[in-house]
Amino acid sequence: MKNEFPANCWDWLRALFFPPKCLCCEERVPPDRLFCPLCAGKLPEEPNRRILRLNNGREAPVLAPFTYEGGYRETMLLYKFGGYRVIALRLGVPMAGLVRELPKWDWVVSYVPLSPEGLKDRGYDQSELLAWQVARHNGLEVLRLLEKVKKTKVQHDLGLEERKKNLLGAYRASELARGRDILLVDDIVTSGSTLKECASVLYGAGARSVCCLCAAVSKAERPGSGVEQAGTGGSEETETGEILRWL
């Protein structure tokens, strides 16, 4: 996994007053690096690859550069709950690099949105900020293809079956999804319930393919979650099957 950040002159100037820190620890790093030398030496050579089995018989691959653990987990918590939205600038770089592993289709970038109430409380949509970084580094378009239309309970407080029921009917897809190859961005995938619901809704709206891109993936899948390691099956005759052959 690469450790470079495309720093410009403003990044170097800003670093004089606000030095960037390693994404896995509190060590200061140069503006053109994401990790300190110690953490960089521990980076995985390959990204995390998962497959979501959807209820409609379709599949959605999931790519994530890192596992949700250790110091990187603390960084993700700061980003998601601590108000440190600027971290998206750096988190988005390794995510953007994964797009180059995919088939050269006409991808558009979308994201798992917060509810209006959640956006008001947090002040920013963490998945939307990541989506803009993924798009910026790849010259892609960002489209808001999903809307959260039902208030749900906090997912990490629920069991697997409760998560599934909690999300039923929670999202609505735009007609703009029809015929699109969609990179669906989220921050963290744990049970996969949210991404499965969103991908199913996008397919229901006529999407050609959906590939999920996350900043982190939980270390272990829960039994019965429908989340599998890539390479454990999957159709070879679908658009998803073609993506999996690239992965």
Paired tokens of 34: 């994401």
Long-range contacts of 19-24 (CB under 8 A, 24+ apart): 20/90, 22/71, 23/71, 23/72, 23/75, 23/87, 23/90, 23/91, 24/70, 24/71, 24/72, 24/75
Reading the chain (247 residues) residue by residue, the pLDDT tens digits are: 678 889 889 999 989 999 999 999 989 999 999 999 999 999 998 999 999 999 888 999 999 999 999 999 999 999 999 999 999 999 999 999 999 889 989 999 999 999 999 899 999 999 999 999 999 999 999 999 999 987 776 666 666 667 667 777 789 999 999 999 999 999 999 888 899 999 999 999 999 999 999 999 987 654 445 566 665 444 444 566 566 555 5
Q: What is the pLDDT of residue 31?
A: 94
Question: CA triplet 179, 185, 191: central angle to 5 degrees?
Answer: 110
CB 173 within 8 A of CB 146: yes
Distance of alpha carbon 30 from the chain centroid: 25
Task: Return phi, psi of residue 7, to 5°.
Answer: -75, 140
Paired tokens of 142: 């960002």
Q: Tell me if residue 4 falls in helix, strand or coil.
A: strand
Q: What is the pLDDT of residue 56?
A: 81
Question: Which amino acid, one-letter code, is at 92?
Answer: G
Q: What is the pLDDT of residue 102?
A: 92
Q: What is the pLDDT of residue 233?
A: 46
Q: In angstroms, rounded to a whole number, what is the distance separating the alpha carbons of residues 34 and 95?
A: 12
pTM of the model: 0.87
Q: In angstroms, rounded to a whole number, what is the distance separating the alpha carbons of residues 219 and 191?
A: 11
Q: What is the pLDDT of residue 163?
A: 67
